[in-house]
A = this chain, B = another copy of it.
Amino acid sequence: MTTPATYDEFKRLNMRLDMSRGKPSPEQLDLSRALIDEAGTAGFMSRDGIDCRNYGHVLGLPEAREFGAQLLDVDAAQVVAAGNSSLELMHDALVFAMLHGVSAHVSNHAPWSRQREVAFLCPVPGYDRHFAICEALGIRMIAVPMTQDAPDMDAVEALVKHDASVKGIWCMPLYSNPSGAIWSRTTIERLAAMPTAANDFRLFWDDAYRFHHLTGTRHATPGIIELCEQAGHADRALVFASLSKVTLAGGGVAFLASSRRNVDWWQRHASIRTIGPDKLNQLRHVRYLRDREGLEHLMAKHRALLRPKFDAVVAEFDTLLADVPGVSWNRPEGGYFISLYAPKGHAKRTVALAADAGLVLTPAGAAYPYGRDDEDRHLRIAPSFPSLDEVTLAARGIALSLRRALEDGAALVAE
């Protein structure tokens, strides 16, 4: 493959690549070929004699809940095993809170939608789909800046302390999308313990990348459910996780973990919606992955495929952008994204130039509530899906697009 040295050379290559989403590559999906090829061997009868072909078990197959509990370091009674998407669980949890209120300990909690206003704290940059749920539900989003490794906790504590309309915060504690941040123990303890004006405040804890390490160090964050319990806020945390980027992105199993009271709350509302999840898929997954060790063994293979791609992107940026003032990027130790910061006012233009060259990136600003990156600096890079050659070229293309955006800007200023 030719190595373009300028944006125009890159453009002439006529690339056709969509890097807008954090999708696993076909090679990663091939790692779980047995889950498809040998699907028949899992059968349909669960360990406990449950016929997984029939209705029922709205909280999930018992062994799938136990598997989730092992992954999330909680009791099986605290886990819901559900369908193919943790996004659905987050959406539905927020919808249930809006329509019915959250689980009540002492007094009843009114439905959020009947309260005057509902606001959520959104550490930025963050996950666009979290923000889309809030926007759709009319929940006001308050951006909170990320410091080096976690949201600015002084800002968070100040916001939740006096304003009862602040009902929750989006959290991605490990390898945050898209900053790759690993939240510190202190941060997490403060989130568990902080006084909130709203007595129905919730941490929406998206543990999407819990096992998605990119280095030999398996980072881990403290158990939020236990910390909340210790701090006297047993029902504060709703933890979400998924096997989408472990086995099959279109057909995994998602988990919700929380206090037993919150699991009861979930059951009360989910059982109006469904007679039960696809237990056959849950059975297949449990029999295929077996246990946490089985999952971690598989994740090491993902890492072997992903790491070179992340390294390649960073290497291209090192080569082409190290000398550009105001440009920076992170070297994530896990997760699915790299954040690239352009000089102020140049992110949108970079994305547009890349698109002109046939390379689709996540829209600039997507990692901010309402799509508004006021500084127009942030770009979310998703290296997972393309081949190593493609992603190397794409990273080069992104760097060249950014340089061209800066040249255009400089030319305008000079005029």
Taking Cβ atoms with an 8 Å cutoff, the residues of A that contact B are 21, 23-24, 26, 29, 32, 36-40, 43-44, 51-56, 83-85, 87-88, 91-92, 95, 98-100, 113, 129, 132-133, 136-137, 244, 248-251, 269, 272-281
Contacts and interface: CB of A to CB of B under 8 A. Distances in A.
How many chain copies? 2
Given A53-B250, A278-B251, A273 B87 contact: yes
A276 to B, nearest CB: 6
Nearest to A268: B136
Given A53-B248, A87-B275, 9 more contacts: A29-B53, A53-B251, A54-B248, A83-B84, A85-B275, A129-B275, A133-B272, A248-B280, A250-B277
A36 B29 contact: no
A40 B36 contact: yes
A54 B249 contact: yes
Contacts of A249: 53-55, 275
A251 B279 CA distance: 7
A132 B54 CA distance: 21
B91 A273 contact: yes
A277 B55 contact: no
A21 B281 contact: no
Contacts of A21: 55
A250 B52 contact: yes
Nearest to A54: B249
A280 B88 contact: no
Contacts of A92: 273
Contact of A37 (B37, B40, B275): B40
Nearest to A100: B136
B274 A54 contact: no
Contacts of A83: 83-84, 278
A379 B128 CA distance: 50
